[in-house]
């Protein structure tokens, strides 16, 4: 279990770096990636985070939870309560919770969740074949 969790932790760190790079070094990326890539990567990053802690949970449940959290986060941007606005005005609060509701983000979260699903399936198949032939995650799909 350690190797699979380490793999997801490394994927989480890589996605964090890549998502931040799309925001801070936009000259490196295509404008389409700059506009939508961060939200797609954000969603995938959180699926990897969930998989670290719930490696034996059915992947479809984690994906559903991941997408639901993304939608709830996006809908929370409709709130103008003082405490949440204060959090969003910080650098990390803005990155984590966003600053404004955008319908396209809901599509980005779905795409990111599905892409991360594909990565999870590929990683777990590769782990089963190369590292431990007896590794069978419980209800992978």
Alpha carbons 111 and 106: distance in angstroms, whole number: 9
C-alpha span between 95 and 93 (Å, rounded)? 5
At residue 131, the pLDDT reads 67
* Distance from C-alpha of 4 to C-alpha of 55, rounded to nearest angstrom: 8
Map out the domains of the chain as residue ranges: 2-131
User: What per-residue confidence (pLDDT) applies to 138?
Assistant: 56
Q: 113 with 106: CB under 8 angstroms?
A: no
The pTM for the full model equals: 0.84
Q: What is the residue-level pLDDT of the chain in tens, covering all 141 positions? A: 788 999 999 999 999 999 989 988 888 888 888 889 989 999 999 999 999 999 999 999 999 999 999 999 899 888 888 888 888 888 888 877 888 888 999 999 999 999 999 999 999 998 887 766 665 665 555
16, 71, 89 from 84: Cα distances, Å = 23, 16, 9
Q: And the tokens for 102?
A: 């955008």
């Amino acid at each position: 279990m350690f190797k699979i969790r380490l793999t997801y932790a490394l994927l989480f760190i890589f996605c964090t770096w890549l998502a931040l790079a799309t925001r801070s070094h936009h000259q490196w990326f295509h404008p389409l990636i700059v506009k939508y890539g961060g939200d797609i990567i954000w969603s995938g990053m959180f699926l990897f985070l969930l998989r670290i802690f719930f490696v034996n949970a059915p992947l479809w449940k984690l994906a559903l939870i991941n997408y639901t959290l993304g939608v709830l986060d996006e809908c929370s941007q409709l709130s103008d309560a003082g405490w949440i606005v204060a959090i969003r005005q910080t650098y990390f609060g803005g990155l984590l919770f966003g600053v404004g509701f955008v319908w396209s983000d809901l599509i980005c979260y779905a795409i990111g969740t599905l892409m991360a699903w594909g990565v999870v399936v590929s990683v777990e198949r590769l782990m089963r074949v190369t590292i431990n032939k007896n590794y069978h995650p419980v209800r992978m799909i």
